[in-house]
Amino acid sequence: MARMLPVPVTALPRVQDRMTFLYVEHCVVHREDGALTARNDQGTVRVPAASLIAVLLGPGTSVSHQAMCLLGECGTTAVWVGERGVRYYAHGRSLATSTRLLEEQAARVSSPQKRLRVAREMYCMRFHGEDVSGLTMQQLRGREGARVREIYRENSRRTGVPWTRRDYRPDDFEASDPINQALSTAHAALYGVVHGVIVSLGCSPGLGFVHTGHERSFVYDVADLYKAETTIPMAFDVVAEGMEDLTGTTRRRVRDKVFELQVIERAVKDICSLLGAEEQDDLSVNVVSLWDYQRRVVAGGANYSEEDAGGW
């Protein structure tokens, strides 16, 4: 196989222009030129790697080194998922070569006042514009808890699917009832998409504003903005219809809903808004600078000794 040169980041599709995710299991994943291939006894499927936001690699999947290189070059998130898709293990490189969003995210997380402001903005998005500017985090959590309970009850009444409480058991998936299995599967798929958006923009999945202390805290923050209209109603619908392939049907429905509601495009816009950036800002500027306490940044690649010795 001839050596393929890496694709310049500037030549790749923007994250908001990509498809949702591809889920594969019990197959061999390889590459042919710029295409990702999945092969099993039934044949081979080819997908342009740069068109995907995430690839979910299920049980029984073998992935070649060339395939992982392709995913890394394209900024496509590679996600190893366990049984029923409720585990999450890895991600690819960022499409952004600028750290501007990451630095702004870190600055806002590190300031209690700025962090509270962002958290309020997130809750405002969930509450559809309701004024929460004077609420504390405790009050916001209480209002969100009541809202989520009502969303579950509303979907239960709408579909006739019995609902008691959220029961998530990643180590014993079968122990949960069908609606909790469907919710776990749906949320895992949404997390994969949101994680892909976050790392593609150059942000940190772990620096959350509402959630904290977990490597995907920001993933949970952003995914929570869309659950009420995507994963929750889809899970209740699938269970109400009595589908035999519960997890597979749920994943496909969520994938279609994410595309229909333009969740990827909205996530890009919402993240940029929360971090004080414009969606059209150029995050591909590939410049390495040096930090300076007084001047913030100075040019890199230069020798700053008193004797002019040139750069490295």
Tell me the pLDDT tens digit for each residue of 15-47: 666 767 788 889 999 998 778 999 999 999 998
Residue that is written with structure tokens 């501007």 in the block: 100
Lowest mean pLDDT among 40-44, 53-57, 234-238, 292-296: 292-296
Q: Which residues contact 237 (CB under 8 A, 6 or more apart)?
A: 159, 253
Residue 22 lies inside a defined structural domain of this protein: yes
Q: How many domains does the chain have?
A: 2
Structure confidence at residue 186 (pLDDT): 93
CA-closest candidate to residue 243, choices 159, 145, 300, 312: 159
Task: Say what the pLDDT of residue 2 is.
Answer: 45
Provide the pLDDT for residue 9.
47
The rounded mean pLDDT for the chain is 83
Do 162 and 252 reside in the same domain of the chain?
Answer: yes
Q: Do residues 47 and 124 share a domain?
A: no
Task: Read off the DSSP letter of residue 164.
Answer: -
Does 116 lie in the same domain as 66?
A: no
Are 138 and 256 within one domain? yes
Task: Tell me whether residue 93 is in a domain.
Answer: no
Distance CA 13, CA 251 (A): 24
Q: Is 265 annotated as a binding residue?
A: no
| Any domain includes 304 | no
Instruction: Kindly tell me if the per-residue pLDDT of 11 is higher than 50.
Output: no
Question: Tell me, what CATH number does 58's domain have?
Answer: 3.100.10.20
Q: Name the percent of the chain lying above pLDDT 70.
A: 78
240-254 pLDDT, tens digit each: 999 888 988 998 999
Looking at residue 90, what is its pLDDT? 63
Locate tokens 């997380």: which residue? 109
Among residues 146, 152, 147, the alpha carbon closest in space to that of 164 is found at: 152
Q: Among 85, 108, 133, which residue terminates a domain?
A: 85
Domain residues for the domain of 124 are 100-274
Mapping DSSP to helix (H, G, I), strand (E, B) and coil, where does residue 105 land?
A: helix
* Selection from 170, 1, 175, 8 nearest residue 75 by Cα: 8
Residue 143 is assigned to a structural domain of this protein: yes
Q: Within this chain, do residues 124 and 213 fall inside the same structural domain, yes or no?
A: yes
For residue 34, being part of any structural domain is answered with: yes
pLDDT range class, residue 105, cuts 50, 70, 90: very high
User: How many residues in the chain?
Assistant: 312
Same domain, yes or no: 253 and 138: yes
Residues 111 and 44 in one domain: no
Model pLDDT, residue 261: 93
Q: How far apart are the first and last CA of the chain?
A: 36
pLDDT of residue 34: 79
What's the pLDDT at 89?
Answer: 66
| One domain for residues 140 and 207 | yes
Residues 41 and 145 in one domain: no
Least confident of 12-16, 74-78, 161-165, 270-274: 12-16
pLDDT the model gives residue 71: 84
Residues 214 and 220 sit within 8 Å (Cβ to Cβ): yes
Q: Any known ligand binding at 214?
A: no
Same domain? For 111 and 259 the reply is: yes
Q: Are 255 and 234 in contact (CB under 8 A)?
A: no
The per-residue pLDDT for range 228-242, each reduced to its tens digit, is 999 999 999 999 999
Q: Are residues 79 and 202 in the same domain?
A: no
Domain shared by 110 and 72, yes or no = no
Q: Is 177 annotated as a binding residue?
A: no
